[in-house]
Structure 1
């Protein structure tokens, strides 16, 4: 069997689709983080820089400029986590026949809700996204909403490939 397909068609396997799905979701949510930070009077890069707190501690949230040490680590961490959350979505969607856009959006919303619950529930503080160090709870909720939209959009694109 071709490792690039799921054995049922010539479409890429769920893990391969998750790369595109997660990248779209990660970029969309990163853009939302920047816009929300600006709306709350913070630096646009602060939420992404804060994501590097797993390596640099909570002071990473104070960095409001592009800085390879914080911005590149934070962005890479953020994109990797988006791909991580795209994996269960793509595997779940591969287990049943593709359906409506509404079903896709429902699945993406459920995935994003699980991500939020795990990110801010049992996850040790050092490994949370770090956005809570910069943004309000309302902005965090909006970001997970955009993550859901990004997952749905990315999954739709990945299915079209």
Structure 2
């Protein structure tokens, strides 16, 4: 299960990071700004104003985002296993969107300010919605990749 969560979480992390970059380009003129903002967990308010790529902000921001993506993927994979929903891609997508909705709710309303994703302060509500949608739709990619690989092998 942890292996599947690592794969699903990696897919969701990569796709949602791509959407963060697109949103940053559109909303604040920097593809790196939303990912940099995640590093506010360590660097505080300074991270909210970092627009250029750096190890300090971009790399750390991505590592945190990736870790949290795998964290949420554990819930996704648990739900998929519990409901034996490994069949239809549509069912997997609904599960991914459900976990993304839960992640959004927790991230933006239940989490202490210091531990929020940070990118919500750099993106418009529209782009933020697209980030969470991308995350939710990418979670099933891991399940589909594992299934496809198992069929080939």
Contact conserved, 2:35 with 2:119, CA < 8 A, in 1?
yes
2:30 corresponds to: 43
Distance across 2 between alignment mates of 1:158 and 1:90: 12
Partner of 1:139: 127
- In structure 2, what is the equivalent of residue 130 of structure 1? 118
CA displacement at 1:41 relative to structure 2: 3.7
How far 1:155 moved relative to its partner?
2.4
Q: Deviations over 1:25-56 (max 9, x none)?
A: 00000000001111124210000000000111
Counterparts of 2:133 and 2:11 in 1: how far apart (Å)? 14
What residue is the counterpart of 2:48 in the other structure? 61
Match of 2:95 in 1: 107
Higher share of residues assigned helix: 2
Post-superposition shift, 1:159?
3.3
TM-score by length of 2: 0.92
Taking the aligned partners of 1:134 and 1:155, their CA distance within structure 2 comes to 31
- Give the secondary-structure state (helix, strand or coil) at the position aligned to 2:29: coil
Structure 1, unpaired ranges of 5+: 1-13
Q: Determine the C-alpha separation between the residues in 2 that align with 1:79 and 1:149.
A: 16
Tell me the equivalent position of 1:150: 138
Shift of 1:81: 0.5
Match of 2:69 in 1: 82
Q: Partners in 1 of 2:57 and 2:16 — Cα distance?
A: 17
Is structure 2 residue 18 aligned with structure 1 residue 31?
yes
Larger radius of gyration: 1
Contact 1:111/1:148 (<8 A) preserved = yes
State the number of aligned residues. 148
Q: How far apart are the structure 2 equivalents of 1:41 and 1:70?
A: 16
